[in-house]
Amino acid sequence: MGRYTRRLAKRSAVCVPCLVLVALVLASCGANEQVVSDRTAGLNGGFELLADGFPVNWAFAPNPASDDSYRISVDSSDRVEGNQSLRVTSSRGTSTKVFRSQRVLVETGKTYRIAYSVKGKGVSLEVRRTTMNSSGTTNIRSDIIGKLSSSSPDWVYQEEILAVAAGEAKVFLTFLVDGAGVLWCDDVRIEEEI
């Protein structure tokens, strides 16, 4: 808890409140991934908010800046929600392409609906849901909650109803794309069931 509090305090100090959209490009400590963080944007599960060409608050690995087989864009002509969907293109199927949500705070004893829509051409997909402890140091549960075969021309809605167990305080989603082709994703939600 202490470590998490300190980290929050540090981030708050960096964020100048008078700036409306502060997008920090984080080169995450040697990790081969691309992240643009925006504290005001939340999950950005509809992929509506971009900075530097990337949907904010999503991490992409391997880093598309250093791996030309991984391309990130948005598609305004094929979407489920809002004005656009996320479109990831893998031109070589030799490595798994990954995009990962930010960590969302959840409360023990409550139930959450985790949902998203995806479609694919030439690629397969696995979606992994991971829960963590409050300090974000330990994964509590990590399960594949959805899959897509290599031929899914129509949008597919998938969901998991997650009952948050003792010790779980955060949840995030990891989308793992295999093969060469295109994957679309839109309307990612992690919402408490009322």
Residues near Ca ion, by CB under 5 A: 46, 81-82, 186
Q: Is 128 exposed, middle or buried (0-12, 13-18, 19+ CB in 10 A)?
A: middle
Cα-Cα-Cα-Cα dihedral sign, residues 82, 49, 76, 156: negative
| Nearest approach, Cβ of residue 134 and Ca ion (Å) | 30
If you search the block for the tokens 């540090």, which residue do you land on? 10
Question: 81 or 126, CB closer to Ca ion?
Answer: 81
Q: Please give the radius of gyration of the chain, using alpha carbons only, rounded to the nearest integer.
A: 17
Question: 65 or 80, CB closer to Ca ion?
Answer: 80
Question: 33 or 186, CB closer to Ca ion?
Answer: 186
Are the beta carbons of 190 and 104 closer than 8 angstroms? yes
Cα-Cα-Cα-Cα dihedral sign, residues 18, 187, 51, 12: positive
Strand partners, 189: 115
Question: 70 or 184, CB closer to Ca ion?
Answer: 184
Are the beta carbons of 36 and 25 closer than 8 angstroms? yes
Name the residue among 124, 141, 140 with its Cα closest to residue 176.
124
| Nearest approach, Cβ of residue 73 and Ca ion (Å) | 13
| Nearest approach, Cβ of residue 45 and Ca ion (Å) | 8
| Nearest approach, Cβ of residue 51 and Ca ion (Å) | 16
Distance set, CA 6 to CA 2, 3, 154 (Å) = 6, 5, 45
Question: 123 or 188, CB closer to Ca ion?
Answer: 188
| Nearest approach, Cβ of residue 39 and Ca ion (Å) | 20
